[in-house]
Amino acid sequence: MGYSQAQKAENRQRVLDAAARQIREHGLEALGVADCMRSAGLTHGAFYGHFPSRNALIVAALEQALTQGEKRVMARGAGQSETRFQAIANAYLHHAHAENPGTGCAICSLAGDTAHSTADVKALYTTHLRQLADQLTQAAGSGSETVGLGVVATIVGAITLARAVDDRELAESILAAAHALVMTQDGAGQ
């Protein structure tokens, strides 16, 4: 008895969700097919029914992780006392984001890995980075791409450094300093 197309699509989505989480937590090269399939509740043998290769899984998982992050940013609405720019900065530069890479932004999690990856991975990463920069430029009320790119560089750097240190107080200071710097770019809130 075979799987229905709906079941196959559901299984593929489970694999992608597991792989997206794993690459954000451990990096692109650490993604293992057997572990990913086990995390998705499937057998290793079922892998090739969904993907032609491990590299194809990496690209699809990266797309999934980047898209999930983009959706979270877009869904983050401004509260009554904050602008959209502030809402995005508050979400990104929060200790919960730094402490939970598996559910965090893949742009932050995979910056180092992507630099050493394939051309298709770099192209996908570049596209999503530009989209985030554009969203931040618009949220800041700026017509300058430089603002969005500078803010992306600051938030990605801050999250990367906060995750790298073994001192929670220092990590919090890094996030707070980056937040203060980023907020100087909120033209919509001034």
What pLDDT sits at residue 50?
A: 87
Binning pLDDT at 50, 70 and 90, where does residue 93 land?
A: very high
Domain 5-189 sits in CATH at: 1.10.357.10
Enter the pTM of the model: 0.85
Q: What is the pLDDT of residue 69?
A: 81
Residue 177 has pLDDT above 90, yes or no: yes
Residue 190 has pLDDT above 70, yes or no: no
Q: Tell me 4's DSSP state.
A: P
Under a CB-based contact definition with an 8 Å cutoff, are residues 73 and 91 in contact? yes
Percent of the residues in the chain that have a pLDDT greater than 70, as a whole number: 93
pLDDT at residue 2 greater than cutoff 60: no
Task: Give the integer Cα–Cα distance in Å for 64 and 87.
Answer: 23
Q: Are 9 and 16 contacting, i.e. CB atoms less than 8 angstroms apart?
A: no
Q: Where are the domains of the chain?
A: 5-189
Can you list the pairs that 66-75 forms with residues at least 24 positions away whose Cβ atoms lie under 8 Å? Answer: 66/106, 66/107, 66/124, 66/125, 66/128, 67/128, 68/20, 68/106, 69/104, 69/105, 69/106, 69/107, 69/128, 70/128, 70/131, 70/132, 72/105, 73/105, 73/132, 73/135, 74/135
Those residues with Cβ within 8 angstroms of residue 175's Cβ, 6 or more apart along the chain or in another chain: 93, 94, 95, 98, 158, 159, 162
Token digits of residue 127:
């596209």
Minimum mean pLDDT range among 43-47, 60-64, 77-81 = 77-81
CB 31 within 8 A of CB 66: no
Instruction: Please report the pLDDT score of residue 189 as a whole number.
Output: 57
Task: Check whether 118 has a pLDDT greater than 60.
Answer: yes
Residue 181: phi and psi, rounded to 5, are -65, -45
Q: What is the pLDDT of residues 156-173, one digit of tens each?
A: 999 999 999 999 999 999
pLDDT tens per residue across span 19-60: 999 999 999 999 989 999 999 888 888 888 889 999 999 999
Residue 1 is predicted with a pLDDT of: 47
Q: Alpha-carbon distance 182 to 190, whole Å?
A: 13
Residue 75 above 80 pLDDT?
A: no
